Amino acid sequence: MDTITEASRETPIIHHTDVLVVGSGPGGLAAAIASSRAGAETTLLERYGCFGGNLTQVGVEGFAWYRHDKTVDSEGIGAEFEHRAKSMGASNPEPQSNSHAIDGEAFKYVADVLVEEAGITPMLHRTMVAPIVEGGVIKGVIVESKAGREAILAKRVIDATGDADIAHRAGAVTHKTPIEEMMAASVMFSMNGVDKKRFIDNVKADPHTYSDWCGPDWSMETSGKEDKLFSPYLKKPFEKAIKSGLIPENLNTITGTWGAISDQGDLSYLNLIHLARLDATNPDHLTKGEMEGRRQAMLAIEALKQFNPGCENAKLRNFGMTLGVRDTRKIDAVYNMTARDVREQGKFDDSIGIFPEFIDGYGILILPTTGRYFQVPYRSMLPKGIRHLLVTGRSVGGDRDSHAAVRNMMCCAVNGQGAGVAAAVSIQTNVDVADVNIDKVQKKLIEQGARIH
Ligand SMILES: Cc1cc2nc3c(=O)[nH]c(=O)nc-3n(C[C@H](O)[C@H](O)[C@H](O)COP(=O)(O)OP(=O)(O)OC[C@H]3O[C@@H](n4cnc5c(N)ncnc54)[C@H](O)[C@@H]3O)c2cc1C
């Protein structure tokens, strides 16, 4: 490939902070709140115009759709997201669980309030483009924005980009699932003008279960107990649309779940478009996926209008601000989680939180209907070789099955809170994040309302 040589330049240092969290999804938002509450001066950097990551930018609203009567759930900042959304009118009852779906639009404001209350320095509209690393120690990041290129220096950095962008660019080892096995990306969308009564009457007349997630060309592993449980699944309108010629046969992948319906007729978190073989660390793939996804979403809307009772007069309300990405880089961590850890109630001395036995991805669906749960190890957030850096959210270290569990938003908030507290404690005790006293971290997490055992 041809290259050019860029001129060297002086870059202004615009900000110093104790803890810099880059990326504000469930992982990063929880990390920043936890770090600030633990007494560290904290800055939260985000490339888009709102905090929340997939929750607000993509419209992934099913924060705890796994929760059943016997579920032993995570506590702490993740649970707070759900309670706060509910108390601020930013949620709707979730149809398949004992939970509320978080309203992705309204949560943009809830997140602002949480950031301000915690005393975090907010920085929106700045993209991290390069880590600053000296002698194996991360010192901060370079950002790009409408103001040009700037530097931010920090005592500790938390990579919550979802893609391990900082760890990867700093030279830490990361890996990706082979593209043919990657979880699909999705253009998410919501509709309005839905007749709620007609829509719900139709769901009740013809209820679906999780076994409907299987089709002639794909199957799903469950533990058996999931198969007969109700699922807000939409399949028939698209089968009819294919029969009528509205949707071409090769798009029999248009199918999936609806998330919530409001009294005002908003049908949101429509998870119906699945784009396989898309590597979201490649902007050409992203470009193609955004455009193809919107094309398919418009076909899905037309099919719902024609073939799903209650949707006759509905229309597109919004697409997610960006393509929904499930699966990119994971770090090679000091400890990489395993299938056994998430399937067999893994326990760890360095646990920073618990997460119910909920595994969803790579063709597996196991719901936490029995009270089983696993502990999340701190070491899965420690990349090898770069000091003062933690990686949190969905790119922590682990194998495929473990990622199908830890990628879920509540678990990202669990490990985010652990990363935030550990970063603060490591500054206060003047040690690297890899050497932090885990007893002190656990004590502080418990004070913050997390459940670690
Ligand atoms: C379509 C879809 C449906 C899903 N359904 C569910 C579900 O029902 N329930 C569930 O629990 N999970 C679900 N997930 C998974 C879940 O949304 C993600 O795994 C989770 O949001 C990951 O959280 P995170 O904090 O690691 O990253 P993200 O939520 O991806 O947030 C990363 C943040 O970092 C920012 N960022 C990235 N790079 C930079 C940069 N260079 N500079 C500055 N900022 C940057 C991004 O803008 C973003 O705000 C779904 C995912 C998708 C895509």
Q: Whose CA is nearest to atom 37 of ligand 1?
A: 161
- Is there a single domain that holds both residue 276 and residue 249? yes
Nearest to 357 by CA among 335, 381, 341: 341
- Give the Å distance between the CA of 55 and the centre of ligand 1: 7
Tell me if 205 is assigned to some domain.
yes
Asked whether the predicted pLDDT for residue 218 surpasses 90, the reply is no
- Is there a single domain that holds both residue 232 and residue 247? yes
Nearest to 120 by CA among 35, 47, 186, 196: 35
Put residue 148 in one of left, alpha, beta given phi > 0 → left and psi -120 to 50 → alpha: left
**Which contiguous run of DSSP H or E holds residue 201?**
helix 196-205
Q: Among the three residues 297, 319, 341, which one is the final residue of a domain in this structure? A: 319
- Is there a single domain that holds both residue 203 and residue 267? yes
Tell me if 289 is assigned to some domain.
yes
- Domain region containing 357: 13-178+328-447
Q: Whose CA is nearest to atom 19 of ligand 1?
A: 407
With a 6 Å cutoff on the Cβ, whether 169 touches ligand 1 is: no
User: How is residue 201 written in tokens?
Assistant: 């009457």
Note the pLDDT of residue 215.
Answer: 73
- Give the Å distance between the CA of 54 and the centre of ligand 1: 4
With a 6 Å cutoff on the Cβ, whether 131 touches ligand 1 is: no
Question: For 174-183, what is the mean pLDDT?
Answer: 97
Per-residue confidence band for 343, with pLDDT thresholds at 50, 70 and 90: very high
222: Cα within 13 Å, side-chain hemisphere? 17
- Give the Å distance between the CA of 104 and the centre of ligand 1: 12
With a 6 Å cutoff on the Cβ, whether 62 touches ligand 1 is: yes
Note the pLDDT of residue 43.
Answer: 99
Per-residue confidence band for 451, with pLDDT thresholds at 50, 70 and 90: very high
With a 6 Å cutoff on the Cβ, whether 160 touches ligand 1 is: yes
Tell me if 144 is assigned to some domain.
yes
- Is there a single domain that holds both residue 58 and residue 133? yes
Per-residue confidence band for 168, with pLDDT thresholds at 50, 70 and 90: very high
Q: Which atom of ligand 1 is nearest to the CA of 259?
A: 8
Tell me if 5 is assigned to some domain.
no
400: domain CATH number?
A: 3.50.50.60
**Is 78 exposed, middle or buried, given 0-12, 13-18 or 19+ CB atoms closer than 10 A?**
buried
Q: Whose CA is nearest to atom 7 of ligand 1?
A: 62
Note the pLDDT of residue 325.
Answer: 98
User: How is residue 434 written in tokens?
Assistant: 């890899």
With a 6 Å cutoff on the Cβ, whether 27 touches ligand 1 is: yes
Count up the domains in the chain and report the number.
Answer: 2
- Give the Å distance between the CA of 88 and the centre of ligand 1: 22
Tell me if 300 is assigned to some domain.
yes
- Is there a single domain that holds both residue 216 and residue 174? no
- Is there a single domain that holds both residue 87 and residue 113? yes
Note the pLDDT of residue 226.
Answer: 94
Asked whether the predicted pLDDT for residue 434 surpasses 90, the reply is yes
- Is there a single domain that holds both residue 312 and residue 357? no
CA 382 to centroid of chain Cα atoms: 19
Note the pLDDT of residue 213.
Answer: 87
- Is there a single domain that holds both residue 291 and residue 407? no
Note the pLDDT of residue 135.
Answer: 97
- Is there a single domain that holds both residue 143 and residue 202? no
- Give the Å distance between the CA of 368 and the centre of ligand 1: 22
First-to-final CA distance of the chain: 52
Note the pLDDT of residue 210.
Answer: 94
CA angle in degrees (0–180, nearest 5) for 342-227-79: 45
pLDDT single digits (tens) 22-69: 999 999 999 999 999 999 999 999 999 999 999 999 999 999 999 999
With a 6 Å cutoff on the Cβ, whether 419 touches ligand 1 is: no
Asked whether the predicted pLDDT for residue 174 surpasses 90, the reply is yes
Tell me if 382 is assigned to some domain.
yes
pLDDT single digits (tens) 226-251: 999 999 999 999 999 999 999 999 99
Note the pLDDT of residue 199.
Answer: 98
Asked whether the predicted pLDDT for residue 88 surpasses 80, the reply is yes
Note the pLDDT of residue 290.
Answer: 98
Note the pLDDT of residue 128.
Answer: 98
Note the pLDDT of residue 219.
Answer: 85
- Is there a single domain that holds both residue 300 and residue 420? no
Could you give the CA distance from residue 392 to residue 397 in angstroms, rounded to a whole number?
9
- Is there a single domain that holds both residue 43 and residue 117? yes
pLDDT single digits (tens) 95-145: 999 999 999 999 999 999 999 999 999 999 999 999 999 999 999 999 999
pTM summary value = 0.98
pLDDT single digits (tens) 271-323: 999 999 999 999 999 999 999 999 999 999 999 999 999 999 999 999 999 99
Nearest to 241 by CA among 225, 228, 257, 252: 252
Q: Among the three residues 296, 319, 342, which one is the final residue of a domain in this structure? A: 319
With a 6 Å cutoff on the Cβ, whether 102 touches ligand 1 is: no
With a 6 Å cutoff on the Cβ, whether 51 touches ligand 1 is: no
Tell me if 257 is assigned to some domain.
yes
With a 6 Å cutoff on the Cβ, whether 296 touches ligand 1 is: no
Tell me if 434 is assigned to some domain.
yes
Q: Which atom of ligand 1 is nearest to the CA of 185?
A: 53
pLDDT over 90, % of the chain: 98
- Is there a single domain that holds both residue 254 and residue 354? no
Q: Among the three residues 319, 336, 366, which one is the final residue of a domain in this structure? A: 319
* C-alpha separations of 285 from 11, 47, 184 in Å: 31, 19, 12
